[in-house]
Amino acid sequence: MAAEDYAYEAEALADASLKKRQAGESADLLRLLEDTLAVRERHLGPTAPETLSCRVQLSFAYWNADKRSRAISMLKLVLKHQNEELGIHHPDSRTTALRLHELRAERKGRWWKTSAGS
């Protein structure tokens, strides 16, 4: 596939996933994000920034679709790649580590709770 074809396919999938997200169609959104991830992995590789960004989006889509284990597994993979490519002190790695910590805490019911009225 030529670079122009990849760019068109990736943009079309991203546009479609945005429309599904806005419409609240989570099943279709998951499928589109999974397709987008497959295209990006195939053409850019598993550690390309665009691929990792898609993985983050997919992890939160899984979370919102009550697929908690898949969401956490996906984010763990993103963090692994970021740590290898960018280092553990890079802002992207640190942000992903924090998100992963938050999702794990929320899954275990330890998420920070605010008092009523706050």
113 within a domain of the structure (yes/no): no
List, in order, residues 6 or more apart from 86 with CB less than 8 Å away: 92, 93
List pLDDT tens digits, range 62-83. Answer: 998 899 999 999 999 999 999 9
79 within a domain of the structure (yes/no): yes
**pTM, to two decimals:** 0.72
CATH code where residue 61 lies? 1.25.40.10
Domains identified in the chain, total number: 1
110 vs 1: CA distance, rounded Å: 46
**Domain of 21, in residue numbers:** 3-107
List pLDDT tens digits, range 27-58. Answer: 788 888 899 899 889 988 999 998 999 999 99
Exposed/middle/buried for 109, CB within 10 Å: 0-12, 13-18, 19+? exposed
118 within a domain of the structure (yes/no): no
State the DSSP code for 112: -
